[in-house]
A = this chain, B = another copy of it.
Amino acid sequence: MSSTVNKTAHAFDKVRLDALLNRRFFYAPAFEIYGGVAGLYDYGPPGSSLQANLIAEWRKHFIIEEHMLELDTTIMTPAPVFETSGHVARFADWMVKDTKTGDVLRADHLVKNVLEARLAGDKEARGLAAAPVTDDKKKKKKGAKAAAVQLSDEVVKEYETILAQLDNFSGPELGELCRKHKLTNPDTGNEVGEPQQFNLMFLSSIGPTGQHPGYLRPETAQGHFLNFSRLLEFNNGKVPFASAQIGRSFRNEISPRAGLLRVREFTMAEIEHYVDPEDKRHERFHEVRDVVLVLLDRHVQEAGSSTTSRLTVGEAVEKGVIANETLGYFIARIYLFLLKIGINPERLRFRQHMGNEMAHYATDCWDAEIHNATGWTECVGCADRAAYDLSVHSAKTGHPLVVRQALKEPILTEKEVSEWNKKNLGKTFKQDAALIQSLVESMDEPELLRIKGELAQGAAIIKSEDGREFQLTPDVLTVERKTLKQSIREYTPNVIEPSFGLGRILYTLLEHSFWSREQDVERGVLSLPPLVAPTKVLIVPLSARDEFNPLVQEVSSKLRKAGVFSRVDDSNTSIGKRYARNDELGTPFGVTLDFASVQNRTMTLRERDTMDQRIGSIDDVIATVTELVFGNIDWAEACTRLPAYDGVQAID
């Protein structure tokens, strides 16, 4: 037993972590007994609980804290919606086919994998220590040749520049890169064909006739936009406000191989914050002004570099690095959320999209990227979609998706206005009356002034498109200057969209939480914060004997009443093994019930990371562990309340 913890005694080992997550059923390939399907994963009990806890905290941090309007819209979406939104035409990735086997690869991934492998081979040839990243081993297995071949300095520089700008290349450019640098399918060594676009949406058909194509949504966002009028009304017509939705989305990825980091079905949490395009300040910006962020802006990347800078959100907005307060506010709130659930801030950065990389609907976008064994991975996007979506749906359906704002001060404008004597108009021009009226009413101010002048002279001449001339006299038409009062301003709001991929966050969190005991690399631990840990307290009776049952029931029931989720492990194995299993499950605290508990009503409390054990009365331990779980006290504080346990049983 020791309270000094060295979490970095062993280098991070992805193979070991993946084995743990599989063994403890955090998640596993879906349909595994049928051979599995790439990019589809099932979450087992600990994974489901972890996900549910992340969602609960997300709901608190965003929806409840900011009074967002929650939605739950359908996944199945009729095709016209995505035709309008641009997804049918443009929500696609570039794929290349192996010219011999017909295997399909994502073009940008091919470029990345082969160039990275060549750079690694170059480092090896130069005798430089290549970081021993587990993932590289896997790539080798898959066939990416990392032969120790030295490259010229120019080539190294060129490859590095390509990799820094990778997300910015078009399909034809990727094809050009493949030809120029002789990039072949690493699995077979065969050449690949020209990049072709592959739409990432799953297609199906709604109803029994087969006549109504539908797509599975690739994002929840359209469900928000289509309901904008109802949401605005629910919010009593006031802007800014936000809608939020947590739900499943689908992307038919070309060749997903990266575990939870690239999947075909995933849970998203999306916010659409509607804001006046002329005023993107945020009333709570002062609360986050001093949050320090690591930023990688588009200019740096476009210059071929990956050098980040450290700025407060306030500075970033002032300098125009981040475009406006609302975008800055949400980037900071995303940062605070990720820290709260346990992401390591040293492995978190915000990267701005480059011009060509941006989704078709976005005008600016920052990704929260979390570092993991495969590199930096986008886990949250924060895009300014401007008025794109609301405008296109409104134009397509004729349903106005706008805000009508009562102006405090009406706007007064002076204008030339035509006034008709309808009776004379009809009598004089008969079936041409409507044509004449529309001709005049579509005139701009200078033209109207000309008419006004001519009328003052007695008569004005106008021409129709087909060349006919009509003579108007003051008994039919007068033009007068009038003062018009506009008391309503109508505008399409802009949308700031923070969009979370929960599976990616969950996986990177597991990586950041994983380490092995100094004395035994086989003893893995997941140091998940109590806030999100699947189980908060493990109840461990010395054995499954009946005499411990009443106490187990009592402790279990008292913890439940205190709102603390516990589990009992009375399996037929040593207490040490049971604790080791729960270290792998990330359970932060354990309590042990033994013969002393039966006799004296005492209970020991064990902390996962330090394996420290304390002892106290059952009720004291329950009170202490409850405060620990809710984050009111830390372990040091708990140690001042409960004495150390140095009992007879060697428990670890």
How far in angstroms is the closest Cβ of chain B from A651? 20
Are B223 and A265 closer than 8 Å at their CB atoms?
no
Q: Which listed residue, B207, B208, B226, touches A34 by the CB 8 Å rule? A: B226
Are B208 and A198 closer than 8 Å at their CB atoms?
yes
8 examples of A-B residue contacts, CB within 8 angstroms = A33-B399, A37-B214, A48-B72, A49-B70, A51-B72, A52-B70, A76-B264, A102-B209
CB nearest to A243 among chain B residues? B45
* Set of chain B residues within 8 Å of A45, measured between Cβ atoms: 69-71, 231, 234
* Set of chain B residues within 8 Å of A252, measured between Cβ atoms: 206-208
* Set of chain B residues within 8 Å of A340, measured between Cβ atoms: none
Are A34 and B71 closer than 8 Å at their CB atoms?
no
Interface residue? A25 (CB, 8 A)? yes
Interface residue? A487 (CB, 8 A)? no
Residue-wise, chain A 186-200 has the 8 Å CB interface mask toward B (1 for contact) of 000000000000100
Top-3 shortest CB links A-B: A43-B72, A33-B399, A42-B73
Question: CA A208 – CA B70 in complex, angstroms?
Answer: 34
Task: Given A95-B208, A198-B208, A208-B252, answer yes or no on A231-B34 (Cβ-Cβ < 8 Å).
Answer: no
Interface residue? A280 (CB, 8 A)? no
Interface residue? A555 (CB, 8 A)? no
Interface residue? A183 (CB, 8 A)? no
* Set of chain B residues within 8 Å of A223, measured between Cβ atoms: 30, 42
**Residue of A52, A70, A568 with highest tally of chain B CB at under 10 A:** A70
This chain's copy number in the assembly: 2
Are B44 and A236 closer than 8 Å at their CB atoms?
no
CB nearest to A38 among chain B residues? B207
- Interface size for A (C-beta < 8 A) is 76
Are A209 and B104 closer than 8 Å at their CB atoms?
yes
* Set of chain B residues within 8 Å of A71, measured between Cβ atoms: 42-45, 48
Question: CA A31 – CA B212 in complex, angstroms?
Answer: 14
Residue-wise, chain A 77-112 has the 8 Å CB interface mask toward B (1 for contact) of 110110000000000000100000010100000000
Interface residue? A216 (CB, 8 A)? yes
Are A567 and B67 closer than 8 Å at their CB atoms?
yes
Interface residue? A159 (CB, 8 A)? no
Are B48 and A70 closer than 8 Å at their CB atoms?
yes
Interface residue? A456 (CB, 8 A)? no
Residue-wise, chain A 225-252 has the 8 Å CB interface mask toward B (1 for contact) of 0110111011010000000000110101
Which residues of A18-53 are within 8 A (CB) of B?
A: 24-25, 28, 30-34, 37-38, 40-45, 47-49, 51-52
Are B205 and A205 closer than 8 Å at their CB atoms?
no
**Residue of A78, A207, A234 with highest tally of chain B CB at under 10 A:** A207
Are A33 and B393 closer than 8 Å at their CB atoms?
yes
CB nearest to A22 among chain B residues? B230
Interface residue? A397 (CB, 8 A)? yes
* Set of chain B residues within 8 Å of A74, measured between Cβ atoms: 30, 40-42, 265
Question: CA A248 – CA B267 in complex, angstroms?
Answer: 12
Are B76 and A202 closer than 8 Å at their CB atoms?
yes
Interface residue? A421 (CB, 8 A)? no
Are A37 and B95 closer than 8 Å at their CB atoms?
no
Q: Which listed residue, B28, B64, B67, B255, touches A230 by the CB 8 Å rule? A: B28
Interface residue? A254 (CB, 8 A)? yes
Question: CA A74 – CA B267 in complex, angstroms?
Answer: 10
Question: CA A265 – CA B73 in complex, angstroms?
Answer: 10
How far in angstroms is the closest Cβ of chain B from A101? 12
Which residues of A527-585 are within 8 A (CB) of B?
A: 560, 565, 567-568, 571
Are B31 and A77 closer than 8 Å at their CB atoms?
yes
Question: CA A212 – CA B104 in complex, angstroms?
Answer: 14
Interface residue? A336 (CB, 8 A)? no
Question: CA A67 – CA B553 in complex, angstroms?
Answer: 13
**Residue of A252, A565, A567 with highest tally of chain B CB at under 10 A:** A252
Assuming A25-B230, A30-B74, what are 5 further A-B pairs, CB within 8 angstroms?
A: A25-B231, A40-B74, A44-B69, A44-B231, A45-B71
Interface residue? A162 (CB, 8 A)? no
How far in angstroms is the closest Cβ of chain B from A455? 44
How far in angstroms is the closest Cβ of chain B from A378? 21
Are B34 and A80 closer than 8 Å at their CB atoms?
yes
* Set of chain B residues within 8 Å of A203, measured between Cβ atoms: 204-205
Are B48 and A81 closer than 8 Å at their CB atoms?
no
Task: Given A42-B223, A45-B71, A209-B104, answer yes or no on A78-B204 (Cβ-Cβ < 8 Å).
Answer: no
Which residues of A124-165 are within 8 A (CB) of B?
A: none
Q: Which listed residue, B33, B95, B255, touches A397 by the CB 8 Å rule? A: B33
